[in-house]
Copies of this chain bind each other. A is one copy, B any other.
Amino acid sequence: MRCFILYASSKDANFYYMTRFKTTDPCIYLLCEDKTELLIVPKMELRRAERESKVKELASFEDLGYKEFIKKLDPKEAVLQVLIRILNECKVKEVVVPENFPAYYAFKLSENFKIVFDNPVKKRRVIKSISEINEIEKVARKILETFDWLLKNFKFNRCEEVRRTVEMKLYEMGCLAEGTIASSGKISSDPHEIGRGKIEDHLVLDIFPKSLESLYYADFTRTIFLNKNLELEEMFDAVLDAQSEALSMIKDGVNARDVHEMVKCKLEERGFKTDKGEGFIHSTGHGVGLEIHEEPRISEQNYTLRSGMVVTVEPGLYYREVGGVRVEDLIVITKDGCKILTDYEKKIKLF
């Protein structure tokens, strides 16, 4: 018998995807090649797991002898014994684990079982179901509502105020946005700088909350111009054009690498070189789901884009002496093109 296992809490997207069980403490999830599933939780979580988890077959660590093991062993050894016991009971010979499986257990299990690295769950997560797309779209709509409100009430002087306002509004709507980027001035040339201090000529606002209920993310960026700045605007126009081309190119079957290369090429044609850590210094996009950055990547790597994938398309340009600009939309890839989940005006001037 071949069996895929996880030992993780619901912080782990693969664990949550398969179990829909929210837990702080790690549990064991098994998916055997005959499709049977088993979730092992602490005994005190068993009835909650019965109510909440989508896994039908449940057991507790205590059912599998944990209480006996812990009398003689330390906790990690006791968990290991539970793992070995359940794998033996299921007559497992080959244990399939994801690359981020805890190394200690993998090493110990390799003494008794054949270990294979593979992640069928991660592969499954790449293509979103209709209900997953719905959850992501719900979050996207809350972002747009927040952003729209923000623009209509824009009287902010500092990056910190914008971030706080956005995060507060989203929280009221049941979404958690951490590290929202509201960045201005030269420092915005670091794409992941969250931004601080006075808002200068422009504001890069990158909002990527997750729903506290469904745990799905959405991701959206706009660059807001508050004062005339021809250099930044020129960069932004190039980014907009590149995004537009990328969006029209994406559909089922397209190689992500070709999209990325086209974006790079378009930006270079407009005179925006990428060199020495400046220019277009990140990938064109990434998958979004239970993780904010997940497969696929739209980058230098070959990757066939498929219908049902939810990805960002977010070209940007970053120069230390000028600053950074970016535009980002979240899309679902379809057979013939894509559906934009974050449909909102792209060039925003508040002056």
Q: Name A residues whose Cβ lies closer than 8 Å to a Cβ of B.
A: 11, 22-25, 43-48, 70-71, 74-76, 97, 99-107, 110, 115, 117, 168, 171-172, 176, 178-179, 190-193, 212, 277, 281-282, 292-293, 297, 300-301, 318
Docked CA distance A301–B77 (Å) = 13
Contact B48 A190 (CB under 8 A): yes
Docked CA distance A293–B293 (Å) = 26
Neighbouring B residues of A297 by C-beta, 8 Å: 75
Counting every copy of the chain, the complex holds: 2
Contact A100 B99 (CB under 8 A): no
Measured between C-beta atoms, what is the minimum distance from A113 to chain B in Å? 13
Contact A107 B117 (CB under 8 A): yes
Docked CA distance A100–B74 (Å) = 16
Docked CA distance A24–B11 (Å) = 13
Docked CA distance A258–B45 (Å) = 25
- Given A47-B190, A172-B168, A178-B212, check contact A117 B99 (CB 8 Å): no
Neighbouring B residues of A282 by C-beta, 8 Å: 44
Neighbouring B residues of A105 by C-beta, 8 Å: 99, 103
* Cβ 8 A contact of A44, one of B44, B191, B293: B191
Neighbouring B residues of A171 by C-beta, 8 Å: 168, 171
- Given A103-B99, A103-B101, A115-B107, check contact A43 B281 (CB 8 Å): yes
* Smallest CB-CB A-B distances: 4 pairs: A99-B104, A103-B106, A101-B103, A103-B103
Docked CA distance A24–B24 (Å) = 19
Neighbouring B residues of A47 by C-beta, 8 Å: 190
Contact A104 B75 (CB under 8 A): no
Neighbouring B residues of A24 by C-beta, 8 Å: 179, 292-293
* Cβ 8 A contact of A190, one of B44, B277, B292, B293: B44
Neighbouring B residues of A301 by C-beta, 8 Å: 70, 74-75
Neighbouring B residues of A179 by C-beta, 8 Å: 22, 24
Docked CA distance A103–B100 (Å) = 6
Contact B101 A117 (CB under 8 A): no
Contact A102 B104 (CB under 8 A): no
Docked CA distance A102–B106 (Å) = 9
Neighbouring B residues of A176 by C-beta, 8 Å: 176, 178
Docked CA distance A70–B301 (Å) = 8
Q: Could you show 18 A-B contacts with beta carbons less than 8 Å apart?
A: A11-B11, A23-B192, A24-B179, A25-B293, A43-B281, A44-B277, A45-B190, A45-B192, A46-B277, A47-B190, A70-B300, A99-B103, A99-B104, A100-B103, A100-B104, A101-B102, A106-B106, A107-B115
Neighbouring B residues of A115 by C-beta, 8 Å: 103, 107
Neighbouring B residues of A318 by C-beta, 8 Å: 44
Measured between C-beta atoms, what is the minimum distance from A49 to chain B in Å? 10
Residue of B nearest to A50 (CB): B190
Docked CA distance A178–B212 (Å) = 8
Docked CA distance A171–B209 (Å) = 15
Neighbouring B residues of A11 by C-beta, 8 Å: 11
Neighbouring B residues of A103 by C-beta, 8 Å: 97, 99-103, 105-107, 115, 117
Neighbouring B residues of A46 by C-beta, 8 Å: 277
Contact B100 A117 (CB under 8 A): no
